[in-house]
């Protein structure tokens, strides 16, 4: 596996691969890798000649400087995980100046209001940061396909929208949420929880499964109240928000329309660690 530590080294590598006509699959990360990330590379491996990873903790998508400071970083561990997986041909590890050559600040994007829903309400500018780093990585890596986990469903929708509006010739592929044995969605943030709290957090997935059972049987307000009741009884857990939204517009709904697809979204803070999850309702 090639370890590419500058924009120039990456560009020379990509140019050689393109000259050989190789189809490139790409999945960017912020490190702290786990099996959820590897599921992206497994799909990319099946569909491409060459698989590229990147590891870059993007400062412009953090609203809270403390959150940025606490974000887990262990680059040597991450490289070892990628090497052992056998799924990745090259990993790009840029410096901040490779992504932000002048100022470390975001571009402004129009995501057709997708950025105003859910996460965007409490994290102003977050998705401009996401759009900026992903667009820049796309321009540098020049992939044919890019892979993103559905755990961050709003982010996936926004990247699709940005790629469409910028007319980038890249296919954006959503990969199903990879879960631990107890159902907890794998996340780099899970590393900040001890074993007992990770086990207790399975209630998040269990609640989403119940929501799917209640879908079209109960009203949206009734479902929301039941979810609130569940977390009112969980020690050390705070329900930040739960909502059901249209999968296309991400707008919250209070009624189930027959011709629309819906998804339940949930954010729970467990001992100060913010966990997100979602589920398509069928």
Q: How many CA atoms lie within 13 A of 236 on its CB side?
A: 14
Residue 24 CA to chain centroid, in angstroms? 20
Known binding-site positions for (R)-pantoate: 61, 155
Q: How many CB atoms lie within 10 A of CB 109?
A: 20
Q: Does residue 280 have an active-site annotation?
A: no
CA-to-CA distance for 226 and 223, rounded, in angstroms? Answer: 5
DSSP string of 164-198, one letter each residue = HHTT---EEEEEPPPB-TTSPBP-GGGGGS-HHHH
List beta partners, residue 264.
244, 279
- Strands (E) across the chain are located at 2-4, 24-29, 50-55, 90-92, 145-149, 171-175, 237-246, 262-270, 273-280
- In the DSSP assignment, the letter for residue 252 is B
Binding residues: 30-37, 61, 149-152, 155, 186-189
Q: Contact 194/272 with Cβ under 8 angstroms?
A: no
Task: List the catalytic residue out of 37, 108, 126, 280.
Answer: 37
CA–CA distance, 3 with 146 (Å, rounded to integer): 19
Query: Contact, 240 vs 220, CB < 8 A?
Result: no
C-beta atoms surrounding 221 within 10 Å: 9
Annotated binding site for beta-alanine: 61
- 182 neighbors 145 (Cβ within 8 angstroms): no
**3-state SS assignment for residue 47:** helix
Q: Pick from 102, 82, 84: which is nearest to 93 by CA?
A: 82
Catalytic residue numbers read: 37
């Amino acid at each position: 596996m090639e370890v590419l530590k500058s924009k120039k080294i990456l560009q020379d590598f990509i140019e050689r691969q393109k000259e050989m006509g190789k189809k490139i699959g790409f999945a960017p990360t912020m490190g702290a890798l786990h099996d959820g990330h590897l599921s992206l590379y497994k799909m990319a491996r099946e569909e491409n000649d060459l698989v590229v990873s990147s590891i870059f903790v993007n400062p412009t998508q953090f609203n809270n400087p403390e959150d940025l400071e606490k974000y887990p970083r262990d680059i040597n561990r991450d490289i070892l995980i990628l090497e052992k997986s056998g799924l990745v041909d090259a990993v790009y590890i840029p410096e901040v100046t490779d992504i932000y050559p002048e100022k470390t600040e975001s571009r402004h994007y129009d995501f057709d209001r997708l950025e105003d829903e859910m996460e965007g309400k409490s994290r102003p500018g977050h998705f401009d940061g996401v759009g900026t780093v992903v667009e820049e990585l796309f321009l540098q890596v020049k992939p044919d396909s890019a892979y993103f986990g559905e755990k961050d469903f709003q982010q996936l929708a926004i990247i699709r929208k940005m790629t469409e509006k910028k007319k980038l010739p890249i296919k954006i592929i959503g990969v199903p949420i990879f879960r631990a044995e107890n159902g907890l969605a794998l996340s780099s943030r899970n590393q900040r929880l001890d074993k007992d709290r990770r086990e207790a957090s399975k209630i998040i997935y269990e609640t989403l499964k119940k929501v799917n059972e209640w879908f079209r049987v109960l009203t949206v307000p009734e479902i929301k109240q039941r979810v609130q009741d569940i977390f009112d009884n969980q020690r050390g857990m705070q329900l930040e928000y739960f909502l059901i939204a249209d999968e296309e517009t991400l707008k919250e709904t209070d009624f189930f329309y027959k011709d629309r697809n819906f998804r339940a979204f949930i954010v729970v803070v467990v001992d100060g660690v913010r966990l997100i999850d979602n589920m398509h309702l069928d």
